[in-house]
Chains A and B, each alone.
Chain A
């Protein structure tokens, strides 16, 4: 077979872990949103959970407007955690293997009761302060990577396209600066 090596090299360089795990994972994320939408008409995003859950413990008026949706949002989030656990117990543990999945070498693997779990090497201060800004920003900006990025873009919403463009650009600049300052991981 004659193949052009240049495009292949580029693919190997730009996608060191292949494309399939990303594409398959993305299709499943979209399928999860679709299942909920078909039954309920709700385009489910993940970040409103933060405010709706705060309504259980805080009387601030801002959180009270999510009281009616807070119960199902807790269930949605538990589902996300359970689904990721199911992934850990099957594909991540090597019980189920598929050529579509490229395992990757980041972070640290550890085992509990035969299940292979994974933990990050990114420093806690980055996670905590990043988390604070994510928590503020997603709520002021009306959505996150699933609300704007998946549901909004899927709806061809101009607001969401602008939101995604804004946070992608700012995140790229931020990550480049942080890396240039020598912060790793």
Chain B
């Protein structure tokens, strides 16, 4: 795939990831307790993270396709992220919800959690790989 060929592709992904991870740390989303506090209505700050982020990226998704056709490093077209709806979105969403409500952890926040020193989070990461493997095994 051409994505890996541009010399700036990988450095840019890294920079984006660093900003993303810093934000997850700053917002305390990398702390499962804070997510659980939200789900138990003890601290309602979490939507500010998700929707704050969605507004910023939403502006980019809306504006860039009007400015130019293709991304400079990949030649990919600027498109919105639209995934087809089917029953799996509900089933998977519900399974994800049980896991999120039980652990207070989702994928991006789990990687960030490791970065803030949370070694205990390796349990969650191990679980996620087991879960992703199980569904891949069933569906292959």
Chain A residues proximal to chain B, CB less than 8 Å: 14-19, 21-47, 49-51, 53-54, 58, 60-63, 68-69, 71-72, 75-88, 91-92, 101, 104, 106-107, 110, 112, 115, 117-122, 124-160, 162-164, 166-176, 178-179, 185
Contact = CB atoms under 8 A, between A and B. Distances in A.
B136 A51 contact: yes
Interface residues of B, number: 119
B16 A120 contact: no
A68 B5 CA distance: 12
Contacts of A68: 1, 3
Given A50-B107, A82-B17, A150-B53, A174 B26 contact: no
B106 to A, nearest CB: 4
Contacts of B128: 50, 131-132, 134-135
Given A30-B55, A40-B13, A69-B3, A135 B82 contact: no
Among A23, A49, A146, the most chain B Cβ lie within 10 Å of the Cβ of: A146
Contact of B88 (A37, A53, A140): A140
A25 B27 contact: yes
A16 B42 contact: yes
Given A26-B49, A54-B136, A170-B98, A81 B106 contact: no
Contact of A150 (B1, B50, B112, B136): B50
Given A14-B44, A72-B9, A171-B101, 16 more contacts: A23-B48, A25-B26, A37-B71, A38-B64, A40-B74, A43-B61, A72-B4, A86-B25, A135-B127, A145-B50, A154-B53, A160-B83, A167-B97, A171-B97, A172-B39, A179-B40
A151 B135 contact: no
Nearest to B109: A145
B29 to A, nearest CB: 7
B51 A153 contact: yes
Given A172-B101, A175-B36, A141 B96 contact: yes
B26 A87 contact: yes
Given A82-B21, A155-B61, A88 B117 contact: yes
Contacts of A38: 60, 64, 71
Contact of A87 (B21, B33, B99, B124): B21
A46 B127 contact: no
Given A43-B61, A46-B111, A159 B116 contact: no
Contact of A130 (B15, B104, B114, B135): B104
Among A44, A83, A164, the most chain B Cβ lie within 10 Å of the Cβ of: A83
- The 4 lowest CB-CB distance pairs between A and B, nearest first, are A79-B17, A141-B92, A25-B27, A131-B127
